[in-house]
């Protein structure tokens, strides 16, 4: 049997203003999140020879961690500046994602580009890195129509969920899940890397190294190719990641003991960065990825029910479409005129930020509880639009 490989992905996101609110009103919860983030680079210190971790950090979270005001508020808990610096580790690879963590298929296509471009802006500044090979679509929300946009931005691969992948090329169960494939749309192709949903559920909730090693062997023993097992989950939510005791959390119970087994050569597989796997083994076979998301606590990800299950949620998404059209039309018109008025440019930029923030997936995830936040942001965007219209029509 050839070598087996494993790619670990952790997604990190906190909604805009959430950590600031927790610091003010539920300090211990904020500390749990901050400690979970700060623990990541510390957990792999000393294991850089074998550890390989992919991180997808939302722009909203990066904005909070890099804020001087927030760093002042959290001084004595976690040094956020040091945390960001420590993430520049040879055992960590950053995946691009959407700035405010939107479910991409549910928002206008023009806004998808804005989220990615703005994520590039903050990530390039904080990590001094210009190119990112992979994209993590928030909530694994993906549709085939995104492929030309991803190619335009230079992405080599995108992560997709195993339950959404349909083979076009004949392939077995294990070939479908444990081999990167190619998806094509609109004359463009991109590599899709398949997340194993079952093993990812275990990564999220709790497992031990021995069980995981056995599962990888059982799932890949009939592969006649070097399999890539990809697991992805949140890395800052849930007790498994937030528990401050090393003998009770992901890093102390699972990851560091696993790295010791890897180093000893008794695990039967090797951690790897996805781009390194692709350099060595490439992708094989064509697939279609059904429009959908990953599984949540209550839903499979099919139909985006978690985010669109009520009329209130659907109405908010419809209003996002309407406001997006207005903002983009005004931006296009001002661009056509050469942005003659700097104040108009500033107002439209502020309106775009409010629009994008309204699209945060968390505003829809909790049923109807956070949907009012969507309308607050959209109201602010329209107020700025009104100022633009008044100024232009003077």
For every residue of 129-141, DSSP letters joined together read: -----EE--GGG-
Which pLDDT score, from 0 to 100, does residue 296 have?
84
E strand spans, the chain: 5-12, 53-57, 92-95, 134-135, 157-161, 165-167, 181-185, 188-195, 228-234, 270-271, 287-289
* Structure confidence at residue 1 as a pLDDT band (50, 70, 90): very low
Coil, strand or helix at 218: helix
Residue 297 lies in a domain: no
Residues 180 and 323 in one domain: no
Own/partner long-range contacts of 213-221 (Cβ < 8 Å, ≥24 apart): 213/258, 213/261, 213/267, 213/268, 213/269, 216/4, 216/6, 216/268, 216/269, 217/4, 217/268, 219/174, 219/177, 219/178, 220/4, 220/174, 220/178, 221/1
Model confidence over 186-212: pLDDT tens digits? 999 999 999 999 999 999 999 999 999
Q: Is pLDDT of 155 > 60?
A: yes
The domain boundary residue, chosen from 258, 289, 320: 289
321/224 same-domain check? no
302 occurs within a structural domain? no
| 381 domain-assigned | yes
302 versus 200: the higher-pLDDT residue is 200
Q: Is the domain of 343 the same as that of 284?
A: no
Q: Is residue 261 part of a domain?
A: yes
Same domain, 213 and 334: no
Quick: pLDDT tens for 63-105: 999 999 999 999 999 999 999 999 999 999 999 999 999 999 9
348 bridge partner residues = none
Please tell me whether residues 174 and 138 are part of one structural domain: yes
Same structural domain, 342 and 376: yes
pLDDT for residue 44 = 96
In which domain, by residue range, is 320 found?
309-392
The pTM for the full model equals: 0.96
Domain count, the chain: 2
- Domain assignment present for 253: yes
Using one digit for the tens of pLDDT, what is the confidence trace for 220-239?
Answer: 999 999 999 999 999 999 99
Do 80 and 209 belong together in one domain?
A: yes
Residues 173 and 251 in one domain: yes
Residues 6+ apart with CB under 8 A from 119: 58, 59, 96, 97, 98, 99
- Write the CATH number for 67: 3.20.110.20
In a domain, 303, yes or no: no
Does any domain span residue 117?
A: yes
182 within a domain of the structure (yes/no): yes
102 and 241 inside one domain: yes
Task: Assess whether 12 and 76 both reside in one domain.
Answer: yes
Domain boundary among 256, 289, 322: 289
**Last residue of one domain, picked from the residues 234, 257, 289:** 289
């Amino acid at each position: 049997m050839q070598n087996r490989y494993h790619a670990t992905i952790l997604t990190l996101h906190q909604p805009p203003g959430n950590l600031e609110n927790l610091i003010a009103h539920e300090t211990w919860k904020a500390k749990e999140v901050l400690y979970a983030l700060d623990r990541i680079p510390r957990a792999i210190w000393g294991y850089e020879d074998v550890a390989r971790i992919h991180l997808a950090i939302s722009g909203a979270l990066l904005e909070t961690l890099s804020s001087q005001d927030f760093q002042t508020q959290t001084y004595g808990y976690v040094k956020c500046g040091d945390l960001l610096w420590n993430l520049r580790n040879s055992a960590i690879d950053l995946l691009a994602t959407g700035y405010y963590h939107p479910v991409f298929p549910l928002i206008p296509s023009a806004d998808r580009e804005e989220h990615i471009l703005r994520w590039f802006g903050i990530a390039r500044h904080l990590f001094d890195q210009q190119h990112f090979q992979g994209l993590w679509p928030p909530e694994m929300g993906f549709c085939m129509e995104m492929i030309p946009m991803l190619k335009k931005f230079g992405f080599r691969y995108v992560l997709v969920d195993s339950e959404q992948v349909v083979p076009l090329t004949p392939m077995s169960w294990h070939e479908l899940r444990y081999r990167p494939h190619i998806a094509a749309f609109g004359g463009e192709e991109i590599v899709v890397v398949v997340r194993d949903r079952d093993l990812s559920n275990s990564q999220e909730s709790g497992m031990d190294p021995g069980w995981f090693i056995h599962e990888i062997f059982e799932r890949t023993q009939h592969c006649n190719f070097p399999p890539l097992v990809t697991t992805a989950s949140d890395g800052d939510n849930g007790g498994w990641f937030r528990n401050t005791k090393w003998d009770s959390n992901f890093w102390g119970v699972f990851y560091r003991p696993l790295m010791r087994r890897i180093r000893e050569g008794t695990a039967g597989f090797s951690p790897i960065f996805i781009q390194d796997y692709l350099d060595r083994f490439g992708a094989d076979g064509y697939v279609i990825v059904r429009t959908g998301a990953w599984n949540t606590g209550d839903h499979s990800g099919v139909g985006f029910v978690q985010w669109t299950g009520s009329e209130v949620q659907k109405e908010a998404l419809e209003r996002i479409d309407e406001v997006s059209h207005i903002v983009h039309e005004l931006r296009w018109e001002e661009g056509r005129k050469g942005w003659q008025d700097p104040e108009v440019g500033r107002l439209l930029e502020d309106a775009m930020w409010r629009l994008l923030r309204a699209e945060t997936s968390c505003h829809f995830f909790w049923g109807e509880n956070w949907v009012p936040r969507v309308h607050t942001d959209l109201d602010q965007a329209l107020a700025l639009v009104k100022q633009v219209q008044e100024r232009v029509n003077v």
